[in-house]
Structure 1
Amino acid sequence: MSAQGGRNYLLPSLPPIIPSSRYFRLSPSQTTIFNGHLAYACRYGLRQLFDVVEARKNGYQVRDSRIDTLNNILRTFLFHANLLQKQPAGWSKDYQLEMCEKYWLDPKRVHLPDEEAFRAEYEKGEWVEEVERRFALWLNKRLQKRFPHIAKDFDDAEYHEWRRNIRRTLRYRLRHP
């Protein structure tokens, strides 16, 4: 007779459940979404942009590649922002984010009864320009960090290009939620 006394135990052969790290996460102490965590979330698009910069060629093909990579970064960035925007209304109350980012990432908060001041500032819309500015600065800093020897080349022209692209996208998203 076997040590189990003839009994067999069937154990499920399921894969382990691992918490998803695919999605961008905020900690309550973060003051901005524009940091290394966002860079990690956008790493594939950033890597493409770095490759375009390293090519250092001019012409329409490089310009088109640069636009495509920026669109990839924006798509990833807005995907993660959209996930945060789908959180329950008021989730940002417990976070240290800058107010412009709270207005953008927690738009349902305007519908809460005790949030008149939040609603008034949100409806002014001044926060949109600050989010645009922060995105453009964040992207320029990523490039300057990756390419310190040509950091001065990432100046106002690039900043305004990044800002123009995010402005177009954000304004469209605000009109068509």
Structure 2
Amino acid sequence: MNSVRHGNNYLLSSLPPPAWKPRGGVNLLKIDSVFDEKRGALNGFGGMRELLRTLADFLKQSPDPTMETRTRRETIEQAVGAELAMFGVAIHGNYAAGWTRDDTCSLPLCEQLWLDPDRTELPERHDPQHPHWQELDREFNDAYERGDWADEVAGRFGRWVNQQLRNRSDKLIALGEAEMRHFARQAILDVAWPIPLQRRAKAGVA
């Protein structure tokens, strides 16, 4: 994205075109994470799989550390981060506010907050038969306001990208914490209030 503004958009010509809708629809209920290795939704979204393959193929060549190499790598990485943001936009547009209230939603809270931000605009539920619903809604709203969920998602994204690259080449097995934090900085999250667009991931297992 920044590289396009800086006049390097010609480098994007060989990358897959962006997509704003999930392929064939995405069911986010009954899965543990959108970053799940087998059932996660992100890898099959838009051009993500092709972008990761392009990045892995580029990195495993161990290109010389030239300005051209850096520009090419940054362009691909920014496209991967942008695809993450597009995924969020697509989910916001295809799911009604409050969909994470469904009993079959088992996503981590940070992913629920990222993908269902308009739930915070809904009135709290008051149901005598389900008194815990109101408390769940309050906890959801409070967690959204704190904003640290975005850093959690960024960290999950960084670890996920690392693992995807490792899966694609034995030459990339050594990717670790530094690379995870680097990829997490590409996590451009579509959020409803002004926290930084590019997140700094907390240290964690890479």
Q: TM-score higher than 0.5 here? A: yes
Q: Structure 1 residues 21 and 74, CA, compared in 2 at 3 Å: closer, same or farther? A: closer
Q: CA deviation at 1:23?
A: 5.3
**What do residues 112-133 of structure 1 show as CA deviations (whole Å, max 9, x unaligned)?**
1112221111101121111011
Other structure's SS at 1:129 match: helix
Which residue does the alignment assign to 1:15? none
Match of 1:40 among 22, 27, 44: 44
Residues 172 and 106 (structure 1 numbering): CA distance in 2 closer, same or farther, change over 3 Å? closer
Which moves more between the two structures, 125-134 or 22-31? Answer: 22-31
Which of structures 1 and 2 has the bigger CA Rg?
A: 1
2:26 equivalent to 1:25? yes
Aligned partners of 1:84 and 1:105 also within 8 Å: yes
Report how many aligned residue pairs link the two structures.
155
After superposition, the C-alpha distances for 1:129-160 in whole angstroms (9 at most, x for unaligned) are: 110110000000111111234401x1222112
1:145 aligns with 167
Distance 1:52 1:172, change over 3 A: farther
1:90 to 98, 101, 106: 98
Higher-helix-fraction structure = 1
- Contact 2:28–2:34 (Cα < 8 Å) also in 1: no
> In the alignment, is residue 69 of structure 1 matched against residue 73 of structure 2?
no
Does the Cα contact within 8 Å between 1:85 and 1:106 map onto a contact in 2? Answer: yes
Moved over 6 A (4+): none
Q: Is the 8 A contact 1:24 1:80 kept in 2?
A: no
Residue type at the aligned position of 1:97: L
Q: Does 1:54 align with 2:73?
A: no
Change in 2 beyond 3 A, CA 1:136/1:143: same
SS at match of 2:34: coil
Segments of structure 1 that go 5 or more residues without pairing to the other structure are: 1-19
- 1:22 partner letter: R
Q: Distance in 2 between matches of 1:141 and 1:112?
A: 37
| Higher RCO (CA-CA < 8 Å; seq separation 6+) | 2
Q: Is the 8 A contact 1:132 1:163 kept in 2?
A: yes
Cα distance, 1:27 vs. partner? 3.7
Q: Which residue among 177, 181, 186 is the counterpart of 1:160?
A: 181
- In the superposition, the TM-score normalised over structure 2's length comes to 0.67
- The corresponding residue for 1:112 is 122
1:170 aligns with 2:151: no
Amino acid paired to 2:44: Y
Root-mean-square deviation (CA, aligned residues, Å) is: 2.4
| Unaligned ranges ≥5, structure 2 | 1-20, 125-136, 198-206
8 Å Cα contact 2:114/2:149 also seen in 1: yes
Identity of aligned residues (%): 26
| Distance in 1 separating the partners of 2:24 and 2:66 | 36
The answer as to whether partners of 2:117 and 2:192 remain within 8 angstroms in 1 is no
One-letter amino acid matched to 1:119:
N
